[in-house]
Each structure stands twice: as C-alpha cells, then as structure tokens.
C-alpha cells in the first residue's frame, strides 16, 4: 500500500513545491505526495525553472490549501518552514511529523543571477533532505 506524504509550507508556492517534486521522484510508486500551504500563493515560476534545471517538471503543480486535504489519512507530514510549523491550524492526523526549516528563495534579492543562485542552493538542500527522507522512511 502506498504511503501518503503531505509537504506543508506557508504559501505552497516554492519550498513545498520543490520538495513535492523531489519526494515524488525519489519515492517512485511507493508513495502519493501532496503539498499544501496555510495560504495559497500560486506556484512560483522560479521554482518551476529551478526544478526544470534539475530535470523535474513541476509546471502542472497547483497551489493548494491545507483544508483541501483534511479527509486524507496521511502517513507523513513534513513542514518545510518554521511559519508553517508554528501557524498550521489544527490538522487531525496520526501522521508521523517531520520539520526542516529551509530558507525562502522567493525572498532572495539581488541580481537575476544572484536570485537564481539562491533558488539553486535551496533546491539542492531540499533535494538532499528528500532523498534522505525517502531512504529512511519508505
């Protein structure tokens, strides 16, 4: 039976979308992966671009609110930012909870190249975390 994984962030636009893409790729057919936010901000085009550079297409992802998944019995819930961990409304679940606070590349400033570099750095941090998570939990 496939495990169900929810990745939770503030706006479900960047970090959770990147993690969703990597978890789905690494888990292959062993898990169903979902991502959501406390709010929805739309999928960040720079997140789509940075994942395309890594060979993963998340262009069809949507930004979803956590309430949309209240009837799903998740096995794992991963928060990828402190705000989501602290601000998440009560979410009844028996899921095993994990947390890692990744910096928000959407808040990066500087030149186009500097912003792109920040997205790449966070992408690689999330990739490493997701690979280890799948290796240890599935």
pLDDT band at residue 17 using 50, 70 and 90 as cut-offs: very high
Mapped onto helix, strand or coil, the DSSP state of residue 30 is helix
**Contact predicate 80/102, CB 8 Å:** yes
Mark whether 81 is an active-site residue: yes
Alpha-carbon distances of 11 from 6, 67, 97, 119, rounded to whole Å: 14, 13, 19, 16
Structure tokens that stand for 118 in this block: 């920040």
Mark whether 9 is an active-site residue: yes
For strands 96-99 and 3-9, give the pairing: unpaired
Q: Is the pLDDT of residue 54 over 70?
A: yes
Catalytic residue among 6, 7, 8, 9: 9
| pLDDT, tens only, 87-98 | 665 566 788 999
Beginning with the edge strand found earlier in the chain, give each strand of the sheet holding 31-37 in spatial order: 31-37, 3-9, 76-79, 96-99
Q: CA 20, CA 24: separation in Å to the nearest integer?
A: 6
Q: What is the CA radius of gyration of the chain?
A: 14
Burial label, 41 (beta-carbon count in 10 A; 0-12, 13-18, 19+): middle
42 backbone dihedrals φ, ψ, rounded to 5°: 80, 155
Catalytic residue among 8, 47, 81, 106: 81
Catalytic residue among 88, 95, 130, 134: 88
pLDDT of residue 38: 87
Q: What is the pTM of this model?
A: 0.94
């Amino acid at each position: 039976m496939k495990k169900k994984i929810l990745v939770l962030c503030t706006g479900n636009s960047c970090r959770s979308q990147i993690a969703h893409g990597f978890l789905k790729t690494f888990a292959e057919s062993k898990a169903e992966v979902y991502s959501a936010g406390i709010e929805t901000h739309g999928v960040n085009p720079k997140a789509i671009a940075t994942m395309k550079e890594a060979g993963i297409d998340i262009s069809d992802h949507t930004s979803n609110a956590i309430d949309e998944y209240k009837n799903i019995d998740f096995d794992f819930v991963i928060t990828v930012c402190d705000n989501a961990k602290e601000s998440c409304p009560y979410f009844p679940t028996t899921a095993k909870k994990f947390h890692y606070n990744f910096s928000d590349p959407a808040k990066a400033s500087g030149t186009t190249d500097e912003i792109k570099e920040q997205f790449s750095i966070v992408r690689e941090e999330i990739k490493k975390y997701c690979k280890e998570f799948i290796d240890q939990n599935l």
